[in-house]
Chains A and B, each alone.
Chain A
Amino acid sequence: MKRILIVIGLSVVLSAMLLTILLSMFSYYRYPQILPSEWTLHYWMYFLSVNDLMAEAVLNSIKIGVFTAVLSTTVGFMTGRVVVSHFKSNRNMMMIVYSLPLFVPATALFIGVHMMMIKFSLNNNFWGIVISHAIIAIPYSTNIAVSFYEGISIDMENVAKTLGCGPILLFKKILLPLLMPGILLSSAICFLLSFSEYFAAFLVGGGKLVTLSTLYYPYINNGDYGNSAVLSIVFVVVNLSVFAIAEYGTRKLTRISNYLFE
């Protein structure tokens, strides 16, 4: 039973991938056809060569993603520490508080955020987008941080203290290595959230700052399947690479492996 489900799941995912790859390489392909008529590298060439805008968008998206990941993970792990060490009985309430941005519809949230950005002159600005993305990413990073901090017993830290560790050494030698899988996981997830986020990027970026997803949207909207497929593949490749890097980093830096897919 389990095996059948896995096979079905895999074939759905793989056929979607295949379809996307086909769409990106052939000039004309519509559903009932088994194989498309003629193949072309037109869309890929378009993506790779001429297009300055495309390169800029990819670069912007990656830069925004990286800064969002660093900012949200830092804030999330600092918040998580406070939540775990200072809120024992009312931890659930705290979790609701810092998850509030997720309960509000993204549209409502980002229109509000956009207004704030205008107020602080952060609209049409790189950092404005990073901050907007961090607002939705921080609840995730905080949740990850909380569960990783919960895994470290306070007495483990106490042992380190009795062995001579002050706060800095304690962080460097015990907390950081034990949290590293969580930090990488959180960074990966925050990056992905930012990388594929459209609405805030569109609104706060104000069209002045293009990202991959703000380019992607019009292509799909206009039924430009070839170019959309190329961008989809770029998305998937970047996203998978980010997870692979996180997983590899975890293996490399710590000896506690396989946290992601276990």
Chain B
Amino acid sequence: MKLHIKNVKKNFSSFRVLNGVDIIVEKGSFHAVLGVSGSGKSTLLKIITGLESIEGGQILLDGKDVTHVPTETRGIAYVFQSPLLFPHLTVKENIRFGMEVKKYDKKTIEERVEELLKLLRIEDLGDRMPSEISGGQQQRVSIARALATEPSLILMDEPFSGLDPALRIEMGNLIKDLQRLLDLTIVFVTHDINESLRLSNYISLLDQGEILQSGLTHEVYYKPQNRKSASIMGDGNWIKGIIKANRFSSSFGDVSAIGFPTGEAEMFLRPHQVIIGESRAAFKVKISGISRLGKETQLTVAYGEEFMKIDTFSNENYQINQEISIMFTDSNCHIVPCG
């Protein structure tokens, strides 16, 4: 189902949490909403399901205004940060809860419960109480419970943040597979950059109650519109230069910049887009900082007055002040005119 969040405004007493948020979630997409803690992500999801009221704007589902439709009839599933299983019901009863409320017939319910138990790999836990299963298993049950009524839109609020890193990745993959398999539309809220990159195909960056940028995840990641949206998704390098006659020139030479206006501009590169190696197009820089993060090494290099960050998986033993050659391909360069 296509979801259109239109100019949504939300206050908590006098404090403005969302200030005109616009997001379009395409049918069948895995749409991440990335933002720091307190940026209003959970509030946004609660607004989409109708658990919070709004001071302005609209929520449209397939073009239909549902802003004033109560939560229970909107039919949007919601997976919370913690599993929130009903403690007085068994795993199976939790999963069938939504179907019973919506009066599905008995046979359909039985079949679907079995199917979901299998899909989420919790076949053996059906008759246990929530207190008798692990946190990861509980979260799987809560996902099964949300999927049971085949909702046309599923909201997930950092559903894996209580899990250990390995399980978190496993669960992420499971959800991603389910999303493709069942052609689900998912809005997934997180403050974990890697998780949003790994799972989503669309992303919206939420910052201080406003959407900084929305689009295909890799586009937003590699082609940020400004410094702020670049930094929300991680480290990056901004190289100052000038556009003249469809060329962008900087201390790293020229790259093509067809269609850009003449004047000052900046070029953006993620640290791993900078390649270390010799070639005719390479530039000499000096290492000024090294931090090793397991298999990855982050280098800070100096060129002229400025610094650049480079991520490399090379196991070479770099030293401070060592001179290395770096380069990057034209197609990687994202150019943003200044002002």
Query: Which residues of A does B touch, CB under 8 Å?
Result: 153, 155-156, 158-166, 169, 173-174, 177-178, 254-256
Contact = CB atoms under 8 A, between A and B. Distances in A.
A255 B129 contact: yes
- Chain A CB count within 10 A is highest, among B75, B80, B145, for B80
Given A159-B80, A161-B51, A178 B101 contact: no
In the A-B complex, list the 10 residue pairs whose CB atoms are closest, starting with the nearest: A163-B98, A164-B101, A162-B78, A161-B71, A177-B88, A166-B72, A156-B84, A159-B84, A164-B72, A164-B102
B29 interface: no
B97 interface: yes
B13 to A, nearest CB: 12
Interface residues of B, number: 27
A160 B73 CA distance: 12
B225 to A, nearest CB: 34
Given A155-B80, A159-B80, A255-B129, A164 B88 contact: no
A159 to B, nearest CB: 5
B88 A256 contact: yes
Nearest to B155: A162
Contact of B88 (A158, A166, A255): A255
Given A162-B77, A166-B72, A173-B97, 17 more contacts: A155-B80, A155-B82, A158-B51, A158-B78, A159-B84, A161-B49, A161-B51, A161-B71, A162-B49, A162-B71, A162-B76, A164-B75, A164-B102, A165-B101, A173-B101, A254-B88, A255-B129
Interface string B65-109: 000001111111110101010111000000001100110000000
A163 B51 CA distance: 12
A103 B142 CA distance: 46
Nearest to B157: A155
B84 A165 contact: no
Interface string B133-172: 0000000001001100100000000000000000000000
Contacts of A160: 86, 97
Contacts of A158: 46, 49, 51, 71, 78, 80
The SS class assigned to the B binding surface is mixed
B10 to A, nearest CB: 16
B84 A163 contact: no
Contact of B72 (A156, A165, A177, A255): A165
B88 A169 contact: no
- Chain B CB count within 10 A is highest, among A156, A159, A162, for A162
Contacts of A159: 78, 80, 84, 86, 142, 145
A4 B323 CA distance: 79
B202 to A, nearest CB: 22
Given A161-B51, A163-B149, A173-B101, A256 B72 contact: no
A166 B69 CA distance: 12
Given A163-B145, A164-B149, A156 B86 contact: yes
Contacts of B86: 156, 159-160, 174
A222 B74 CA distance: 71
A169 B86 CA distance: 14
5 contacts: A159-B142, A162-B74, A162-B77, A164-B73, A178-B88
B12 to A, nearest CB: 12
A199 B33 CA distance: 64
Contacts of B129: 255
Contacts of A161: 49, 51, 71-72
Interface in B40-71: 46, 49, 51, 70-71
B179 to A, nearest CB: 18
Nearest to B145: A163
A107 B87 CA distance: 44
Contacts of B78: 158-159, 162
A168 to B, nearest CB: 10
Interface in B292-322: none
Given A161-B72, A162-B71, A166-B72, A178 B49 contact: no
